[in-house]
Amino acid sequence: MQNEEMYQLLIKMKEGDQQAFHTMYDATFQDVYRTVSFLVDHKQDREDVMNEIYMQMWTSLANYDTNRPFQFWLHGLVIRQVQRFRVKSWRRFRIFERIRAFSHDESYLDEHTALMDGTNQMISQSIRELTDKQRTVIIFRFYHDYTLEEIATLLDIPLGTVKSRYHAGLQALRKNIGNLPVERMEKINDY
């Protein structure tokens, strides 16, 4: 398709002409699909990305500057949609992994719950008696295995503050729980 012909289609598309969109789709589909095929592995995923690319083209055509090359703009849409797809895929993978890990932890918890129920209730009650700030640090440290540095980043507070809350929380737990060995307290994430 010649540039002048493509330019006329773009003008019609900007005015909402669906037939012009179909003509543009037919003219560009193979090039776009070839590019997407190199970037996305699975056929079904490619088709989803292709749909998103052409939906994005239709909805953002009003933003297109007709003084710029159309193919360059279209390839920009391709790259952005492929990147969005990858981000979505990564998030789905992470969610799946967390669910799987949680399911594993849950079955592990069930095995130990019967043996440690009394101790766990005591620890759980002691954690509830901590201040909100101490409890937050303790929960992130023991239930989610974050490092103190990660907790500082997560809470957007200085590392020294996290350490202070962590140690104060541990002292309060030791005081409340009494004779529970330290190593047992450090495994409160086991229940």
Residues 6+ apart with CB under 8 A from 19: 12
> Do residue 95 and residue 176 come from a single domain?
no
Burial of 121 (0-12, 13-18, 19+ CB in 10 A): exposed
Tell me if 187 is assigned to some domain: no
Tell me if 189 is assigned to some domain: no
Tell me if 188 is assigned to some domain: no
Number of domains into which the chain is organized: 2
Residues 6+ apart with CB under 8 A from 129: 172, 176
Question: Which ranges constitute the DSSP H helices of 40-158?
Answer: 43-60, 70-128, 132-142, 148-155
pLDDT digits over 63-110, tens only? 888 788 888 888 888 988 988 998 988 888 887 777 777 666 655 555
The range of the structural domain enclosing residue 117 comes to 112-181
Across the chain, what does the average pLDDT equal? 80
Percent of the chain with pLDDT over 90: 23
Last residue of a domain, one of 53, 69, 103: 103
Last residue of a domain, one of 49, 79, 103: 103
The answer on pLDDT for 55 being more than 90 is: yes
CATH code, domain carrying 58: 1.10.1740.10
> Do residue 8 and residue 84 come from a single domain?
yes
Tell me if 190 is assigned to some domain: no
Residue 103 three-state SS:
helix
Tell me if 191 is assigned to some domain: no
> Do residue 87 and residue 17 come from a single domain?
yes
Question: Quick check: 148 and 163 in contact, CB under 8 A?
Answer: yes
The CB density around residue 145, as the number of other CB atoms within 10 Å, is 9
User: How high is the pLDDT of residue 189?
Assistant: 44
pTM of the predicted model, to two decimals? 0.51
